[in-house]
Amino acid sequence: MTDDTQTDIQVRLLPRSSRNQIVSKECDIYKIKVTSPPVDGKANAALIELLAKKLGKPRRDVEIVSGESSRLKRIRIHGLSLKEVEEKIKT
């Protein structure tokens, strides 16, 4: 049996920050800082790495669904409910 649960969250990404961290949640949008610059997908990769680590999921279970080249992104997390995601990300 496979787990088909998937959850989408909105993220406002702030690249070139002093550290990688989930800052806050405002109006259902998570504000996340990464140290990487927004060049060649480095900030996106850092975002996925940070979320995967925080959620205890492999990177393949965290994907950018929309906003690849924008600061505002929609992220899909496979295998976790919204409640589980919110508990693990708590800011």
pLDDT band (50, 70, 90) for residue 90: confident
pLDDT at 74 over 50: yes
pLDDT at residue 82 tops 50: yes
Cα 19 from Cα 60, distance rounded (Å): 23
Element (H, E) at 11: strand 6-14
Domains of the chain: 6-89 (3.30.1200.10)
Q: In sequence order, what are the residues at sequence separation of 6 or more whose Cβ sits closer than 8 angstroms to the Cβ of residue 29?
A: 10, 11, 12, 72
The pLDDT assigned to 1 comes to: 41
pLDDT tens, residue by residue, 20-60: 999 999 999 999 999 999 999 999 999 999 999 999 999 99
Mean confidence (pLDDT) of the chain: 94
CA angle 80, 85, 91 (to 5 degrees): 170
Alpha-carbon gap, residue 69 to 86, rounded angstroms: 25
